[in-house]
Amino acid sequence: MPSAQNAIDYQAFLREHLDQPHSIMRYELAHETLWVKRANKGNPALNYWLLSTLAKLFRAAVLQPVPNPGGTESLQTEVRRLRSFKAKGLRVPQVLATDDQAFVMRHLGRPGEEAPSLSNAIEDAIARGAQPTLELWQKGLEAIQQAHARGEVLSQAVARNMVVCADGVIGFIDFEDDPAAHLPQAVCMARDALNYAQSTALFLQQAGALEQAREAWQQFVQQLPAEARQVLERTVNKLSWVRCLPRSKSLGRDTLRVLAAHDLLTAPPLSA
């Protein structure tokens, strides 16, 4: 952070960068790293139609798409949610200045240091073996649990939207939509769980850590509120057909992710 002598007028900084060529850009200053994010377009309507169709087909509310209108509305949603998470002691980038069309936030990493996404960190840990991979994965799971305990849900709880800070704390980024404004809290919590499983299970499998992770997963599931647990269990049951897919690399990485997630999600319940 800058000292008093080098204090930055963040509002002025934001005004100076409103015409940046990309919707989000990183700026390296002498004492800190900043990001300026500008309003952009939302998700194509086709994406909502496809997700809505799948949700109806499988009668799975957890697949129901969350509107992301883009523009100033999504920008204001992100600023509001970042501030809400921050106020509850959860690790997110600090919002430093806002405008109708953009905002500036502080990078989660220290100056001169990278703060890798949890996805990249877990994938890099595979070469070091099952235990380092499992430990990082559990940190992400615990971070989601902590957010839930403080009354929050994520936007997209995938590992690429989580950050490993220099002190080991897991931070969250990307809040352009607000699932809790459109879906019941129980569905949002189950949705977070499914997103995290789908984005990380293949890494666990590749590291030989999937079996160990299944117990931690069941512990996580057991601490969910009963309604969220029921939503999750019903959804997993409805998607049980994926186990019939061939386990072939020729079908692509996405298929392998789905199969690995199924293996994690169908861990046997812990004995009483």
pLDDT tens-place string over residues 14-45: 999 999 999 999 999 988 999 999 987 655 54
Could you give the angle at which helices 185-207 and 210-223 cross, rounded to 10 degrees? 170
Other CB atoms within a 10 A radius of the CB of residue 178 amount to 20
| pLDDT the model gives residue 253 | 73
The span from the CA of 51 to the CA of 259, in Å, is: 20
User: Of 139, 120, 129, which is closest to residue 216 (Cα–Cα)?
Assistant: 139
| pLDDT the model gives residue 245 | 67
- The CA-atom distances, in angstroms, between 74 and each of 77, 99, 152, 157, 230 are 5, 13, 18, 17, 30
| pLDDT the model gives residue 53 | 45
| pLDDT the model gives residue 63 | 62
Could you report the per-residue pLDDT of 130-178, keeping only the tens digit for each?
A: 999 999 999 999 999 999 999 999 988 999 999 999 899 999 999 989 9
Q: Which residues of the chain have pLDDT under 50?
A: 4-5, 45-55, 57-58, 272
Residue type, 162: M
Q: What is the pTM of this model?
A: 0.87
